[in-house]
Amino acid sequence: MATAPAVPTTIRGPGLPPTVTPAFLQHLTARVSAAPNAARVTTSAPYTGVPLADFPVSTPEDVEAAFARARVAQKTWAATPLAERKRILLRYHDLVLARQDQALDLMQAENGKTRRDAFLEVVDIGIVSRYYARNAARYLGPKRRRGAIPLLTHTTELRRPKGVVTVISPWNYPLSMAASDTIAALMAGNAVVQKPDTQTALTALWSMDLMYEAGLPEDVWQMVIGRGGSIGGALMDQADYMMFTGSTATGRQIAADAGRRLIGASLELGGKNPMIVLDDADIDKAAEGAVNACFPSAGQLCVSVERLYVAESIRDAFVAAFTARTKKLKIGAAYDYSVDVGSLTTPAQLKTVTEHVEDAVAKGATVLAGGKARPDLGPLFYEPTVLTGVTPDMTLHSHETFGPVVSLYTYRDVDDAVTRANATAYGLNASVWSRDGARGRAVAARVHAGTVNVNEAFAAAWGSVDAPMGGMGDSGLGRRHGADGILKYTEPQTVAHQRLQGFYPPARVSPETWATLLTGALKVLKAAGVR
């Protein structure tokens, strides 16, 4: 069994940036909903392995208390006019952009990603908060619907908030995943009790702190810290809706538990995402696109590419261009924009990446670039890695690696490429490259994935927040973004007001005569084209 390289005894890499002061950290950790005498847990900085933050640990009783406070606060928040919710969200938008250096420093300190990758999370939250602030009224406002009897039935669809939403967010995108789903839930009139991954809880707490500064009433958004095995049951049992981003295995259990309680759940889970390079692709652009598809956040991105399918006719040229760019990537730890690839986040993730690559090599795969850890740079660094000759008996062939590793394959024709791209239980994201946009879109429509990008890695679909984003198959249920991303946090209610006459016969009209009249009316409506 392969093991991760030993953590070096000498600490390397930069210290914490000046914005991450002890007082600042204490301010954030004090926001956790936990008892004054709570047990504590300490996280470490991926760049160096040194202790980073000390959090109070929430108990199931703390979770129940947070929900109790949230239920009281939610009633007032739901009655708050949409215009006021919009003002708060736009103020939050401005605060995130104005204080982005704090967010970038925190994300890098507790996740290990590059500043460039962290900045994309700031952009994401800016786009999402503005979108829902400006569009919530058209999604949530009363809508007139066609009544049962023309002119006599006045029917209105209303949208009511679910109540208190549980949001469980992961460590890999600590701002995007902590805030984007919460933004929509809050704008819909819900309160939120959130459990971020402890490793990156500082960023989530920072986001919540800014929302309160923007004007969110107290207790509408609360944060708890703890292991799923300890507080997961309380988070599920108290929730009116569950939003989860994480592993497929955990998502299956949450779906089962939500079914037991008859509440809704939205689950964004794992992926083994493909990229198809068609024979007419611009090789240089596709090679650059592949770098951007495979290695952002050290490959710790649910929509990043781990399978690369290249047309046989351009394989050699593409491989040369792609591997050359991969080998030139600058790996390291820096609180600026000077490096291209940062650190993995946890020792467990380094172990997984190491085992997957060593298993593949032992079974005959060839390393075209990378292929090893870099303890000289810090405890959790791993080189961007390109493999070829990967076969189904290798672990990384079908299982998500979630690291800076991609397997490269060739294909005969488009049908072969699509068949192989779809040969997975997952269906989260995909990428297609072609000089012919119409051809690229036609191939994209055949790929089994919730989002497919043409001549882009993932940002085009992810950033199109007016459109739904989510997975098929083992990649999850439900969608974020667009109408789906906010309406899932609501209960639709139909109010129908019947005037004058309904479906039952009036006095002095026999049921038989009434049935004949209604039958004639239905025929007239059909002939008139009434839907």
Residues known to be catalytic: 268, 302
- Are 302 and 172 in contact, with CB atoms under 8 Å apart? yes
1 burial level (CB within 10 Å; 0-12, 13-18, 19+): exposed
- Beta-ladder partners of 249: none
Between CA 185 and CA 166 the distance in angstroms is 10
Q: Who's near 169: CB < 8 A, 6+ residues apart?
A: 177, 178, 181, 194, 195, 196, 197, 204, 245
* Nearest alpha-carbon partner for 64 in 196, 224, 202, 205: 224
* Nearest alpha-carbon partner for 164 in 266, 214, 236, 93: 236
- Are 194 and 182 in contact, with CB atoms under 8 Å apart? yes
Strand residues in 323-424 grouped as ranges (E): 366-369, 385-388, 405-411
Between CA 104 and CA 368 the distance in angstroms is 32
33 by DSSP, 3-state: which? coil
Q: Who's near 411: CB < 8 A, 6+ residues apart?
A: 276, 309, 310, 311, 312, 417, 420
Per-residue DSSP letter, 299: G
- Beta-ladder partners of 433: 277
- Beta-ladder partners of 267: 244, 477
Find the DSSP H helices in 301-413: 315-328, 347-362, 395-398
Phi, psi (degrees; rounded to nearest 5) at 306: -120, -10
Residue 455 backbone zone (phi > 0: left; psi -120 to 50: alpha; other: beta): left
Residue type, position 109, single letter:
A
* Nearest alpha-carbon partner for 32 in 158, 177, 250, 209: 209
Within a 10 A sphere around the Cβ of 504, how many other Cβ atoms? 8
